[in-house]
Structure 1
Amino acid sequence: MNREIMSFDNVGLAYRRSLNPFSQKNWVLKEINFQLFRGEVLGVIGHNGAGKSTLLRLLAGIIAPNQGKIFKEKGVRSQLLTLNLGFIHKLSGFDNAIMSLVTQGKTIKEANQLLDGVIEFSGIGHLMDHSVSTYSAGERARLGFAIAMQATPDILLLDEMLGVGDKEFKRKSGKALQERVQSDQTAVLVSHSAGTIRKFCERALWIEDGLVKALGPTDEVLDRYEQSAPDRDKDHSKKAAVKAA
């Protein structure tokens, strides 16, 4: 195993439903402990609302935990790719690409030199001078993934990004990620697809109700996750019924 690049030590994140500082906290993540190693691809799986996307935002440094500590190797840069984050929608595709590349450590000159690669990979060159607000979710995903492939961050954070776009783009993005994995790219991949996690990830982290249910070799964790599906679905149905009442 390569050296540790990042770790979570008893990390928790909570929020309050009201502005009252004495109101009860709602814990999204609780007592999260794991290490991320340079060159590995860690898969994160769990049902909707389990805390997976929140975990990625903590990894990206967008939000800070309420408890515990996050350790990151000095100088390490991470980039989060998600359908709902990262672009200034009033700016054009060109402007967003330049801005994103510069925030990942590229100079303006280097960013401009990388634009051809962004355009070629994304396949939306005809839209690059249009406002990103006019893009479909799939077109934003194409642009975001293409930028990440040029930006070469230390840690690539992918939030369901391999499940969007048409069949050809899914194949293309999957192939590009596979090449990155083989070239020692560190990545964290959130997906509802066990098949995707099995294909790309050496280890898997299963989060349920904000807690780590399992962490270890991908096949072992996913086998436990899939075996728990009937009980998990019953439990969520009960919670939904209580809320509805």
Structure 2
Amino acid sequence: MAQSVVVDQVSKKFSLHNARTLKQRFVAARKGVAINESFMAIDDVSFDVQEGQSIGLMGLNGSGKSTMLRLINGVLRPDSGEVLVRGRVAGLIEISAGFQKQLSGRENIYLNAALNGMSEAETKGKFDEILDFAQIDKFLDTPVQHYSSGMKARLGFAVAIAADSDVFIIDEVLAVGDPPFKKKCMKRIHEIRSEGRTVLFVSHNTNQVRKLCDRAIVLERGRLVFDGSVDEAAKRLHYDADDDLDPDGSADF
């Protein structure tokens, strides 16, 4: 089986600016606090994903999960090492990512579709499908700045799943939205997995990861500390199995 994603000794550093104004710099200097600090968001991480595998990327907040997805998606470039991806990548890394709040929902569909590698012709052909999934008909021509987080999630996810992709990535979008939307999303991700596409899924919801993923990778302070079964990853993180959804769309309340 061919490799779909290869992450080879990848590192990514970010800078923290603790003082932006002159006053803040003066106070920081008086207290002996460093004005600029750096930290390793990803620190010498290596792993590979085979075509058709579903990987749960797990870790506590600040562990580097979202940064890793951005590196795989090409939004960020590593400072060292190499990220190789076979085929087209689509998905939703952040609820509001790619949205222009002054533009309408209709205009943002075309914008987000382009960011997911879709041509204007492809977007037109799938426009009704996107709108049907998002169910924001009444607000289609309303600026996105007036949308709730749930509406943004529906719109972003609807565009992401409409894109033909080889690798599908999803980052905590199911943390928002109402139960019917979450059920519909889980069902669609399960279908994408069944189609043989590679899936990279970030969630703190252990049951979601367990049901959707073949394997789990755990990051801790930017370093890879575990690569194996979802159950073992959950034990390592002390996650509670308190999820409310199964991948077939059923709920457990």
Specify if TM > 0.5: yes
Q: 2:9: which partner in 1? A: 10
- Whether 2:229 is the aligned partner of 1:220: answer no
- Whether 2:65 is the aligned partner of 1:52: answer yes
1:25-58 deviations in whole A, cap 9, x for unaligned? 3111111111122211110111111111111111
8 Å CA contact 1:81–1:144 kept in 2: the answer is no
User: Which blocks of at least 5 consecutive residues in structure 2 are unaligned?
Assistant: 21-35, 240-253
Shift, 1:126, TM fit: 1.0
Query: May I ask how many residue pairs the two structures share in their alignment?
Result: 224
8 Å CA contact 1:11–1:70 kept in 2: the answer is yes
1:24–1:143 distance in 2 versus 1, CA, 3 Å: closer
Further displaced range: 55-64 or 211-220? 211-220
Q: Secondary structure at the match of 2:42?
A: strand
8 Å CA contact 1:119–1:146 kept in 2: the answer is yes
Which protein has the bigger helix share?
1
Partner Cα separation in structure 2 for residue 52 and residue 109 of structure 1: 33
Q: Secondary structure at the match of 1:157?
A: strand
Q: 2:162: which partner in 1? A: 150
Q: Secondary structure at the match of 1:32?
A: strand
Q: If the length of structure 2 is used for normalisation, what is the TM-score? A: 0.82
- Whether 2:138 is the aligned partner of 1:126: answer yes
8 Å CA contact 2:98–2:115 kept in 1: the answer is no
Residue in structure 2 matching 1:187, options 191, 195, 199: 199
Further displaced range: 215-224 or 198-207? 215-224
The percent identity for this pair of structures is 32
1:143-187 deviations in whole A, cap 9, x for unaligned? 011111211222221110122210111111111111111111211
Q: Secondary structure at the match of 1:49?
A: coil
RMSD of Structure 2 on Structure 1 (CA): 2.1
Q: Secondary structure at the match of 1:170?
A: helix
Q: 2:54: which partner in 1? A: 41
- Whether 2:68 is the aligned partner of 1:69: answer no
- Whether 2:92 is the aligned partner of 1:80: answer yes
Q: If the length of structure 1 is used for normalisation, what is the TM-score? A: 0.84
8 Å CA contact 2:65–2:202 kept in 1: the answer is yes
Partner Cα separation in structure 2 for residue 178 and residue 82 of structure 1: 20
Q: 2:189: which partner in 1? A: 177
